[in-house]
Amino acid sequence: MARSENAKRLIVAVLVLPVFYLAVTKFPPALFLILLAAVSVLAQIEFYAMYETKKPLALIGALCGVSVFITAFYHQPAIYYLPPIAFMLISSARLFLIREPSSSLKDISPVIIGFLYIPHLLLAQWYLRLQGYEWILFLYGCVWASDSTAYYIGKKMGKKKLYKEVSPNKTVEGAFGSIAGGILSALLLGKLMLNAPVHVLMLAGAAVGAITIAGDLVESMFKRDAGVKDSGSFIPGHGGILDKIDGVLFAGPVLYWITLAL
């Protein structure tokens, strides 16, 4: 069974990674934005399914998510008005589609959280892409290295639990491994692709390695709250879309903020 799962993971990686690389390096930025919007919709659908969100509300939440990317492309300053507009749309839809007021907050909350959590955090990658595709490769390379280093160090050396109530397998040693992996990969990738000082690369790598853990734990918290093991089964052997982007959701904005200080 384990071999079968590993084979699925390898096949998916072999198929997806070249496509992702081409999409980042060869596609114009606008097509990359469309890709982000598509990933956002799929991840939001998974999130709403986890919480058994009523379908009309889930649809409105996903459409509000798409509006984030459209607005950022055409009129970036207007994006700051989207959260209140989305709240009015979602709460009004709950008001008129379901006449029973009880559980209204329970119905609305996952829709609002999904809207704030996924498209808004993903949008940072659009701004990174506008600075150069190298930043996207740097981001994903550092997150992948952080995840991998955390996994292997945690498996071989992990003893002290990091947060057993949310993720029993994560360890403090693995967390330090994530930060170390982020720093080492940032130095390597930065040397190859970016013209940035060593201290900035080390800061970016450490920040990505640390915040990737938080992103992973936040998604695990939501899954435990919803009572599910994976966010979905969209990717064979890997779980759902949200399972694959949980770390990069948090790392993207942090890296973008660091680039603003360069």
pTM of the entire predicted model: 0.91
Neighbours of 45 (CB within 10 A): 24
pLDDT at 237 over 70: no
pLDDT at position 238: 65
Note the helical H segments in 26-103: 29-50, 55-74, 82-97
Structural domain of residue 87, as residue ranges? 2-260
Place of tokens 């949310």: 166
Give me 17's structure tokens.
């990674």
Q: Tokens at residue 237, please? A: 């052997």
Half-sphere exposure of 108 toward its Cβ, with a 13 Å CA cutoff? 18
Handedness of CA 192, 21, 9, 213 (dihedral sign): positive
**Parallel/antiparallel/unpaired status of strands 167-171 and 161-163:** antiparallel
pLDDT-based confidence at 27, cuts 50/70/90? confident
Say which residues have a Cβ less than 8 Å from residue 198's Cβ, sequence separation at least 6: 187, 190
| Residue 8 in this model has a pLDDT that exceeds 70 | no
pLDDT-derived band at 232 (thresholds 50, 70, 90) equals confident
Of the chain, the end-to-end C-alpha distance in Å amounts to 48
Instruction: Please state the domain count of the chain.
Output: 1
**Residue 237: left if φ>0, alpha if ψ -120 to 50, beta else—which one?**
left
- Residue 155, pLDDT > 60, answer yes
Supply the pLDDT for residue 17: 81
Give the pLDDT of residue 30: 93
